[in-house]
Amino acid sequence: MAPNILKSSLENASFNIIFQIICRCVTFFLNAFVVRHVGQAILGVMNVRLLLLESMILFLSREPFMKACLTNTAEHNWAQVINLLWITVPICVAMSLIFGYIWLFVLQTSEALPPFYTFAVYAVAISCIIELSSLVVQLIASAFLFVRLRIVLDTIMIALRTTTFVFLIIYNPENALFAFGVAQLIASLFCTASHYIYFHYYIKKVKRHKLKRRLSVSDDGIEEYVESEFPFMSIKDFLPCQLENHDTPLNKNLSILTWSFFKQGILKQVLTEGERLIMTILPVLSFSEQGVYEIVNNLGSLAARFIFRPIEESGYFYFTQMVQRDKPISHQPQAKIQESANVLKYLCCVVTSIGLIVLIFGQSYSSLLLWLYGGEKLVSPLPILLLRAHCLAILLLGVNGVTECYTNATADSATINKNNFIMIYESIAFLGASYIFAIWFGPVGFIFGNCVNMALRIAHSTIFINKRYTETNYQPLLGLIPKSFFSSSLIIAALVTACSHAYYFPNNKCLHLFIGVIMLSTVLFSWIYENYDLLKLGVSKLLERRSSSRSVKIE
């Protein structure tokens, strides 16, 4: 049976969100410990310079290949896909050498770098190479819907990296960069080894299943065995050029699509990491200011990391399977188009609602969250202003994630290449706005620049989606407009929580929190009341998935 793409995508998103919430709750408290025990300057070096290095290497080496190879996986020639994916390893080595040299010898700073900075740079580069050596297995896990495997391993890897770092800095907080490098290496080794070990045992299980289960007996008496949908029968099949029946080592269309995503990836990386790039290349902020900015940025990005990102990843996979890139919407199967349009509308509604809730409640509860996270030293005007401004960026980030994932999932190579030129102007506008705002407003200027970035990208994606559905009656972007009852409850909540913050914080934090819980419950009730059909659909899909899985087990 062919997999149900919608149910699998919903399962992927739901499990991903649940595990990410659990993991982020654990790492939230561990990071709070780190904030209280490690200096802000060291946090600035780790969270800005070193994580930027990791992001640059991994994103440019991995992201274009993953996006291209996840497109229409049912028609893949897996030998060609594996050959293409293994190219990422030498690319990652080259990226590591280039960026590692820049980070060690080119970047200048007026401040002294913390101890073990060189070791940390080497550790980040090596860990990226180790992680890319399992990219083939990671893509196969995504393509064949190993939902729980990916989420569980990612969760364990994050927890392992965080706990290793915390354990090493308990007695030596001044050697935090050494602990950071060791934690990166251990996490990457675990990621690579665990993927290969799992599929080693899974392939053995598939072989035993094929020997036990027979489908029918043919006319000449020869037994026909069931052919599994999983095409790999050995770990060696994950190595280059191991499978048969392929004409050329690489698929031409996938290679062109990968190159298109690579060119777009450079621009997208500039847009995504623009503030870190400016902080690193142009030292407009000190390491301590960078540390405060990243503390607030990590707090403000919780919703983006464990809610928006899983939705975006699952949505991208879903749309690549349901909507064909090279055909107009009107010339494709209308059942799939109707379903995908409804899914896009619902996703827009969900992320917009979450973003508005974060924006409204973030204005009155940023102070309380910072106090819980870092103590009294974070309850100062700058961190509070940063977190409040970040709430606006979260709203724009969620909307951009959904609209842009649809654009990338359904646009053809020519459109993607055309979009790259538009992103050049968006990148220039973003970097210019961030630099100017940083000079005018300090660290909060980077958040304003990021809001400009998100707004430009949202405008570009919505124009594409409108053109895509021009010849149909579907209007999926209506999901971006909040309904009246929900909007009214948000306005009331904003007024009540603002008064509560003025009168009860910081002297009566518990009462201030209690009022926020009451108002949040009211807002959620209003949303459920107006979106009952969406909630009913989600529950029915969940029950349908459970019943189908039970029937498979019984069979």
| Mean per-residue pLDDT of the chain | 80
**pLDDT value for 102:** 92
pLDDT value of position 410: 84
For tokens 């100017």, name the residue. 436
Q: Answer for the pair 208, 193: CB distance below 8 angstroms, yes or no.
A: no
CB 419 within 8 A of CB 333: no
Residue 542 has pLDDT above 60, yes or no: no
Same domain, 19 and 121: yes
Q: Are residues 456 and 488 in the same domain?
A: no
Q: What number of H helices and E strands is found in the chain?
A: 21, 2
> Is residue 457 domain-shared with residue 487, that is, in the same domain?
no
What gap in Å lies between CA 446 and CA 275, rounded to an integer?
6
Three-state SS across 307-357?
HHHHHHHHHHHHHHHHCCCCCCHHHCCHHHHHHHHHHHHHHHHHHHHHHHH
Query: According to the model, what pLDDT value does residue 369 have?
Result: 86
Boundary of a domain, candidates 430, 451, 474? 474
Residue 224 in domain: no
- Same domain as 486, residue 467: no
Are the beta carbons of 109 and 281 closer than 8 angstroms?
A: no
* 366 shares its domain with 331: yes
Q: pLDDT digit string (tens) for 181-239?
A: 999 999 999 999 999 999 888 888 877 766 555 444 444 433 333 344 677 788 888 88
Instruction: Check whether residue 492 and residue 526 sit in a common domain.
Output: yes
At 475-497, the pLDDT tens digits run: 888 889 998 999 999 999 999 99
DSSP-assigned letter for residue 375: G
- Six token digits for residue 334: 């209308």
| Residue 156: pLDDT over 50 | yes
- Asked if residue 208 belongs to a domain, the reply is yes
Rounded to an integer, what distance in angstroms lies between the CA atom of residue 103 and that of residue 117?
10
**Residues 353, 373 share a domain:** yes
In angstroms, rounded to a whole number, what is the distance separating the alpha carbons of residues 30 and 37?
11
Domain membership of residue 549 (yes or no) is no
Report yes or no on 555 lying in a domain. Answer: no
Strand partners, 214: 225
Kindly state the average pLDDT of the residues 102-114.
81
- Kindly state whether residue 554 falls inside one of the protein's structural domains: no
In this prediction the pTM is 0.67
The total number of structural domains that make up the chain: 2
CA distance 379 to 232: 55
Write down which residue in 424, 445, 474 finishes a domain. Answer: 474
Instruction: Answer with the one of 446, 474, 502 that is the final residue of a domain.
Output: 474
Query: What gap in Å lies between CA 497 and CA 490, rounded to an integer?
Result: 10
Least confident stretch, 35-39, 252-256, 257-261: 35-39
Specify whether 396 is located in the same domain as 449.
Answer: yes
Task: Write out the residue range of the structural domain in which residue 503 sits.
Answer: 481-543
81 belongs to a structural domain: yes
Question: 60-74, 92-106, 219-233, 392-406: which has the minimum mean pLDDT?
Answer: 219-233
Q: Within a domain: residue 226?
A: no
Same domain? 375 vs 465:
yes
What does the pLDDT average to over 497-509?
A: 90
What are the b/e assignments for 423-453, b being 16+ CB within 10 Å?
beebbebbbebbbebbeeebbbbbbbbbbbb
- Claim to verify: residue 534 and residue 389 sit in the same structural domain: no
Query: What integer is the mean pLDDT of 108-122?
Result: 84
- Residue 507 CA to residue 153 CA, distance in Å, equals 43
418 with 520, same domain: the answer is no
Highest mean pLDDT: which of 29-43, 414-428, 439-453?
439-453
Residues 148 and 277 in one domain: yes
pLDDT at 95: 92
Higher-confidence position of 456 and 302? 456
Residue 504 lies in a domain: yes
